[in-house]
Structure 1
Amino acid sequence: MAEMAAEKPLERYMRILELISGFPDGISLSTLASALDLPKTTAHRLLKGLTDVGMIEPAPPAGGSYRLGTRFTNLLYAGADDGWIRAVSQPLLQELATATDQVCFIARLDGVAVRSIAMVAPDNPVRPYVMPGREIPLHTGASAKALLAFLDSDRRLALLPDPLPRLTTHTKTDLAEIEAEWAEIRRTGVAFCVGEDVEGFAGIAMPVRVEGKPIRYSLCLTGTIEGLLNGDRDGHTRHLAACADRLARLLAARLP
């Protein structure tokens, strides 16, 4: 107990989080206090502090047990590295590319930019357009639209460049028109780009929704307007939705 008492407060909190992370169904106050050799009153005070900031939460059913909280699991979700995403998504992207005969990729919102992080593509003119690491124009790319639409209004507007660059004759630069498109994306769950960043090319994208987590990833198909939208547009959208749902389940499985 003397060793634990001599620790810095932050170290106590970290040890509690490390212990709780091993009990996804929850650990009781008495068990935690015993494992860390703490008085129950001290353990309760530390647990209350972590609960107040959302790092842990009471585990159901109510009975004095605790598990990792939403704020902590959000950090785990946000910290999924690109290598892990590429590894787990490669089979899904391959299936999607085979089913649609289109380029498919995952985009990620990182701070102030949206970038492609994983891709499967046939050897065609679209390939360099979505190479991993490429930054997606926020007001034109379908994958970026599918992410920005679900941010709060102030953050969306703060991310957009001012003035909005016109990349093609089809680029939307009127903010009211863009806001209306974001509202439609929230209603339907599907974002489109029709020749807005590269003439003749299109994109269909969907957010990857993990329940209770902020939307940080989108899944996108891209190709020529003729091949992607004037062909089997409905079929492409169905395949995209099924793949986005499977990817969401993989991301959810990463969390405690």
Structure 2
Amino acid sequence: MCILVFQWQSHPLYPFLLFLNRDEHHNRATEALRLWEDGETVGGRDLVGGGTWLGCTKHGRLAFLTNFRETSSFPDAKSRGDLPLRFLQSRKSPAEFAEEIQEEIALYNGFNLVVADIFSNSMLYITNRPSQGDKLVTQVSPGIHVLSNANLDSPWPKCVRLREGFQQLLSENGTSEFPVKKMVEELMTNTVKDETPELPHVYPPEMEYQLSSIFVDIKTPTGRYGTRSISAISIKSHGEVCFYERHLEDGDSWKEHTQHFVIQNHTI
């Protein structure tokens, strides 16, 4: 489970800005944000499935993923974290990649995937759980979008809170540089929960209640579960990228990691 908010092609200084909370079991082996061995890709890694939930490359490719909240799953399904990884390591356009995976998306449990190429100003939303009448693949429009564990821009209360908080911070900072760490603290550590009538009613009410905050921290019979990392990616109009992560290590120790680079041979 995760939640994220991003703005795309709607700010004069930042063509792209994203904040993302990754929720996971605390005992699941995870690698913090770093530059990968290929010398090009930046992101964290899930050491169980081998994939990632959020990554960016020095050539301006972006991918991020959330799981779809549902009551049943296939134990032998393919790892969803492999999808962002495949896009980041390919040279296909977002449209070409979406076409490539069309015939295999039924092999995955429910997912939401966003892939983008900064060079071509192209961003697509791909899901194998579309709302009735919606397409599997849609172009992401310029503006602010929120994604959790339902379809893109679904009005879950915590998504509405996150959107409103994000809009407020954008308004306060105007066209000046954003204080990313301050914005992370104000937006992504919110623990406000929802009343029962407002919950999505996919899981039992008590579990839904515990998951209804932007920042999640739950004790479960199998161990602690909740927000393992908070990430922020900002891309400026001249291609400068700041990828920041606050990552939970050793149970209760939060560590900060930052990667800076400029998208190669690019003017946005």
State whether TM-score is above 0.5.
no
More relative contact order, 1 or 2 (CA 8 Å, 6+ apart): 2
Q: Which one has the bigger strand percentage? A: 2
TM-score by length of 1: 0.29
Q: Which one has the bigger helix percentage? A: 1
